[in-house]
Amino acid sequence: LSSCTDTMQRLEDIFASQPKPREVLHSLSSELTELRELVPVIVSLRNPGLRERHWQRIGEAIGQTIHTGQMKDISLSTMNERYPFVQHLQAIEEISETAAREMLIEDELRRMHEQWVKQPIIVRLLVGDGSQNLGDDQEAAEGYNESMDQDNVAFTADFRHAEVWELITEQMGKVKL
């Protein structure tokens, strides 16, 4: 945009004595000024992290209901006429920044889930006070389970805590709040 402004200023000097080209330059200059005001709004609203909840908050900030399905097909000039985004730019930028941080967290949680799914979980049957451990012998555990009082039977799982903790700290280091 700054190079367009510089070019237009040079053209104004060149066409100083010609009224028609100066009218065109003036018209383009005003449209460029309007676009310059809209660029931060466009950047904030094009955030891929914006979810329905964020659009609701933006609607609350501008005092209007926003129908996200209509936003995809709306032109820039219609959007600018319909919604007072420029007047509420600071609130919109804050909501957009929050959405971007939430998207980072969601992405990291998704990656953590994918890694955790691959972690083995060993389930063992404990009997009574835990002194009898039937281990991984599924047949023995099922037979014992049928003959025991349900109140005395419990299950324990080995999640390999050290590996899970390493994954958590690794993922937390990637998220910048």
Question: In 10 A of CB 122, how many CB atoms?
Answer: 11
Q: In what order do the strands lie in the sheet with 132-135?
A: 132-135, 122-127, 153-158
At 97-108, the pLDDT tens digits run 999 999 999 998
The pLDDT assigned to 120 comes to 62
135, pLDDT greater than 60 = no
**DSSP assignment of 104-131, as one string?**
HHHHHHHHHHHHHHTS--EEEEEETTTT
CA–CA distance, 156 with 135 (Å, rounded to integer): 10
pTM over 0.85: no
Report the mean per-residue pLDDT for the chain.
76
